[in-house]
Amino acid sequence: MKIFRRVAVFSAALAIAMAPGQVGQAKTAKPVKKVETVVSLTFDDGDSTHLAVARMLERRGMRGTFYINTDTIGDELKLTRRHLAAIAGKGHEIGGHTLTHIRLTELTQSEQEGQICDDRRRLVAWGYRPATLAYPFGAVDSDAKAVARRCGYDAARSVGGLREWKCPGCPASETTRPKDRYEIRTPSSVREDTLLRHMKQQVLNAEKSGGGLVPLVFHRVCDRCGLYSVTPERLNPFLDWLAARKSRGTVVKTLQSAVGARYRPVPG
């Protein structure tokens, strides 16, 4: 009896709390449409290993985003301009990463402009249409974001801000219409101590949270070649696993395509 009375009181309270229209809506509400999970594979610094990486992606029908520092292209352990043209020719995205890979937050606005705009101008002069930028070290402040916009970039990638061991309370994914297009969030960079299951988990977290965008940040792809590296033996099985997720609605897109970033000319 007591239980029945409690249910009756609760139902009455609910009826008062909901306006008649809301009651009707609650009855006809459809389940929320599942958003697809989009993974962007981004590779920073124009590393010489990235030519082989582009081939690894192409074999699986994937395209990646390659962030370039134009001042160091052609240097030892870096891509050459011919490599870059070969990568772009296959439909991968070429984005900017500043002239010299400097920490933008330690520069004045006019220095930031030199680093971001001049790098972008050079990419355009080389025949590319860069629409997205990656901040070196993921270091970004409001000045850097304003300069990225002024230099004509339509979106920019940071590093960090998504869920991982360091930040269990962070969101599992970015959205494909990011809240801040000039600070697109990611998990931390993939490092030599990042295991295959860690990479998979980033994607699974997003899938379980209803989808969204997961940009992954890679640097060198080689054996025992620095903290910010991943071996092909680890990346290849991850790409195979990722390719097979397509049947579950998880797809790989360049960052530009994932967020719909448009090319705009560099202002004079």
Distances in whole angstroms, Cα of residue 16 to Cα of each of 12, 21, 24, 44: 6, 12, 14, 56
* Residue whose Cβ sits closest to Zn ion: 44
In angstroms, give the least distance from the CB of 63 to Zn ion. Answer: 20
In angstroms, give the least distance from the CB of 220 to Zn ion. Answer: 11
27-42 burial code (b ≥16 CB/10 A, e <16): eeeeeeeebbbbbbbb
In angstroms, give the least distance from the CB of 91 to Zn ion. Answer: 22
121-160 residues near Zn ion, rule: CB under 5 A: 136
**Pick 136 or 215: Cβ nearer Zn ion:** 136
* Candidate segments 39-47, 82-90, 154-162, 247-255, binder of Zn ion by CB under 5 A: 39-47
Residue 44 contacts Zn ion per CB under 5 A: yes
User: What is the C-alpha separation between 207 and 36, in angstroms, rounded?
Assistant: 8
**Pick 42 or 202: Cβ nearer Zn ion:** 42
Residue 119 contacts Zn ion per CB under 5 A: no
**Pick 64 or 136: Cβ nearer Zn ion:** 136
167-186 residues near Zn ion, rule: CB under 5 A: none
Closest C-alpha among 81, 91, 80 to residue 55: 91
**Pick 69 or 256: Cβ nearer Zn ion:** 69
In angstroms, give the least distance from the CB of 137 to Zn ion. Answer: 7
Residue 71 contacts Zn ion per CB under 5 A: no
In angstroms, give the least distance from the CB of 97 to Zn ion. Answer: 6
Closest C-alpha among 119, 154, 161 to residue 256: 154
User: What is the C-alpha separation between 101 and 98, in angstroms, rounded?
Assistant: 6
**Pick 93 or 207: Cβ nearer Zn ion:** 93
User: What is the C-alpha separation between 228 and 192, in angstroms, rounded?
Assistant: 6
In angstroms, give the least distance from the CB of 250 to Zn ion. Answer: 26
In angstroms, give the least distance from the CB of 58 to Zn ion. Answer: 23
For the record, the structure tokens of 85 come out as 């043209």
Q: Out of 37, 39, 43, 45, point to the residue binding Zn ion (CB under 5 A).
A: 45
**Pick 228 or 263: Cβ nearer Zn ion:** 228
**Pick 49 or 176: Cβ nearer Zn ion:** 49
Neighbour-count burial of 25, counting CB atoms closer than 10 A to its CB (0-12 exposed, 13-18 middle, 19+ buried): exposed
The residues that touch Zn ion, with contacts defined as CB under 5 A, are 44-45, 136
